[in-house]
Structure 1
Amino acid sequence: MSTSTGPAPTPERSPAEVRRVGVIGGGTMGTGIAYVFTVAGCSVTLVEPQEERATAARETIETRAAGAAQRGKLDQAAADAVPGLLRTAAGVEDLDGGLDLIVESVPERLDLKRSVLAAAERRDPVLLASNTSGLPITALGEVLQHPDRFLGLHFFNPVWSMPLIEIVHTDATADEQIDRARTAAALVGKETILVRDAPGFATSRLGVTLGLEAIRMLEDGVAEAADIDKAMELGYRHPMGPLRLTDLVGLDVRLDIARNLTEAFGERFAPPQLLVDKVAAGELGRKSGRGFYDW
């Protein structure tokens, strides 16, 4: 096996220590991930090449921290510390070497994620993770020199309020890295589940199944979107209906996952034409202002 060309590791740290974190991608998920680690007291570098998005991400994090402190949800000292703990960078090469954790959170494209992860590994992090909701972790790790240090950390939107992180391990993932991932999750106040790398993992596979059927029901005229959602909210005590949740996740994200699952498991995961048409029309959910609901 070839030797990493990254910088020399920093002095040995406790296996449980996660204090210096890099997050790659300043979109909705990357911003949320950077937020939870920053308010937990970590030194966080958020990589976002587009200056406007980087500025917006920083403003979101600082504003949300201040608002959480005002509502009594966050210690005032933790909120006050955020500006000094958070920095933004234009490229992966600007990350410090030897970080405790780097989380990749760029769009769900295999080639893009592989390229970003390979660059991130050259910064020699102790643990490298992908925040993917459905791409195979094993396939993402094929470009890495040290796949034993790599796993999936699937956060949920909105990251600051959703209590779960799905840890996805491969056959190569070292046990101590799974322990480190659990420690990182506990640090930011999250519960975890551990799943083997398989198409859709656990949460995406189950969530997409329900979401696709709800879309088919809407397509077939069974009921209006609000009534389909109310059926699950009141009848099954789901905190949010499957169509509103699809709007929150992003119709394009759900479509990508459905297509990946169709390749793996066949036509039972084939996306409804209504979903395909809405994505083609730019109706992506809350982030575009319109999906199954107007936002």
Structure 2
Amino acid sequence: MGIKNVMVIGAGQMGSGIAQVCAQAGYSVLLNDLKQEFVERGLSGIKKNLARGVDKGKLEASAMEAAISLITASTSLEDAASVDLVIEAAVENMEVKADIFRKLDEYSPAHAILASNTSSLPITEIAAATKRPEKVIGMHFMNPVPVMKLVEIIRGLATADEVYNQIEEMTRVLGKVPVEVNDFPGFVSNRILMPMINEAIYTLYEGVATKEAIDEVMKLGMNHPMGPLTLADFIGLDTCLYIMETLYEGFGDSKYRPCPLLRKYVKAGWLGKKTGRGFYEY
């Protein structure tokens, strides 16, 4: 059975981005969150994104209307009863994700594939919360989803080949590039990116250079489009800390130890762009 109906759980930046690209590719989408206001906010963001595409001449107005018409609001996980695929993009917390997957296992049809957009948590452990581990897989989209081409597809210990193939094919239909990754903490992207960001924070913490200088070196010297401290602010310092802790716990290697300055900023509530202050002020 092919994938036609998709439920996206979490209407934040990642979830709404995933819902948008699925709808633009012609899938019927249920955008789910805990409260109607969260879903409305996500839908409003999607409409703004699509309207911007129309204004820039990158998208036909009819294509925008068609995509919007394919997205329906949902505030109950029981709505998963009618879908072929669920993509979970909730908060990066194992207890929360395991609870969602337990419920999805109960509510969704037997053929449905359950995917997680986790950026660092083990798919095998998430799958263990269900009675269908062979149908659980990781789909790690990059932010912002409508722009970024990469999707890391992560097999759990029990993920079936057929499920992997379906998700790989769908990823291509979304206009993305699928890359197969095995189930290790941080996968590939965050296992490499986060220690670099953490090292940049140590460089600031130890007074090697100012934040502006550190970002400038990486932009001009390494051709990065954005400096690591600016990037950390955009990702969210709480998310950076959580991923570093996942790596540190998963590998037990001191090279993944989060910088004390990162911990301090998170405790202060300086989480980056979303709170108006991180390494920079917004």
Short-chain TM bin: over 0.9
Q: CA deviation at 1:77?
A: 2.1
1:180, distance to aligned residue in structure 2 (A) = 1.2
Distance in 1 (alpha carbons) for counterparts of 2:94 and 2:217? 36
1:37 correspondence with 2:7: no
SS at match of 1:32: helix
The whole-number CA distance in structure 2 between the counterparts of 1:244 and 1:185 is 29
After TM superposition, list the pairs within 5 Å mapping 1:2-81 onto structure 2: 13=1, 17-81=2-66
Contact kept, 8 Å, 1:18 with 1:183, in 2: the verdict is: no
- Between 1:80-89 and 1:103-112, the stretch displaced more is 80-89
1:213 aligns with 2:199: yes
SS of 1:88 mapped into structure 2: strand
CA displacement at 1:71 relative to structure 2: 1.1
Residues 39, 65 of structure 1: 8 Å contact kept: no
* Distance in structure 2 (CA, Å) of the matches to 1:121 and 1:180: 19
Deviating above 3 A after TM superposition, structure 1's stretches of 4 or more consecutive aligned residues are none
State the Cα distance separating 1:291 from its structure 2 match: 1.1
Q: Secondary structure at the match of 2:128?
A: helix
- Count of aligned pairs between the two proteins: 279
Matched, 1:192 2:217: no
> Which residue of structure 2 lines up, in the alignment, with residue 167 of structure 1?
153
CA distance in 2, matches of 1:76, 1:179: 33
* 1:109-160 residue CA offsets vs partner (Å, 9 max, x unmatched): 1111011012122312532100101111111111111111111111111111
Instruction: Look up the match of 1:271.
Output: 258
Report if aligned partners of 2:80, 2:86 keep a CA contact under 8 Å in 1. Answer: no
* Cα distance change of structure 1 residues 18 and 69 upon mapping to structure 2, 3 Å threshold: farther
Compute the displacement of 1:76 (Å).
2.7
The corresponding residue for 1:156 is 142
| Mapping 1:209-248, distance limit 5 Å | 209-248=195-234
**Aligned equivalent of 2:280:** 293
Structure 2: distance between partners of 1:75 and 1:223: 47
Identity %: 39
The residue aligned with 1:102 is 86
How far 1:254 moved relative to its partner? 0.8
Deviation at 1:249, TM superposition (A): 1.1
Q: Match of 1:113?
A: 97
Q: Tell me which residue corresponds to 1:82.
A: 67
- C-alpha contact 2:36 2:74 (8 A) present in aligned 1: no
Consecutive unaligned residues in structure 2, runs of 5 or more: none
Distance 2:177 2:238 in 1: 27
In structure 2, give the amino acid aligned to 1:259.
Answer: E
Residues 75-124 of structure 1 show CA distances to partners (whole Å, capped at 9, x for unaligned) of: 33220113311111111112342x22110111111111011012122312
> What is the letter of the counterpart of residue 116 of structure 1?
I
Distance (whole Å) between structure 2 residues aligned to residue 170 and residue 221 of structure 1: 42
What is the alpha-carbon distance in structure 2 between the residues aligned to residue 250 and residue 70 of structure 1?
29
Bigger shift: 178-187 or 130-139?
178-187
Amino acid in structure 1 at the alignment position of 2:99: S
Instruction: Read off the aligned partner of 1:206 and give its amino acid letter.
Output: I
**Match of 1:3?**
none
Matches of 1:282 and 1:36, distance apart in 2: 32
Letter in structure 2 aligned against 1:109: N
Alignment check: 8 A CA contact 1:42 1:85 kept:
yes
Asked whether the equivalents of residues 9 and 89 of structure 2 are also in contact (C-alpha less than 8 Å), the reply is yes
Partner of 1:177: 163
Does the residue aligned with 1:34 lie in a helix, a strand or coil? Answer: helix
SS in 1 for 2:78: helix
Cα distance, 1:234 vs structure 2: 1.6
Cα distance between partner residues in 2 of 1:113 and 1:69: 36
Could you tell me the TM-score, scaled by structure 1's length?
Answer: 0.91
Superposed CA RMSD in Å reads: 1.3
CA distance in 2, matches of 1:287, 1:276: 17
* 1:195 counterpart SS class: strand
* 1:159-195 Cα distance to aligned partner (Å, 9 max, x none): 1111111111122111111111112211221112111
Matched with 1:284 is 271
Q: Is the 8 A contact 1:62 1:82 kept in 2?
A: no
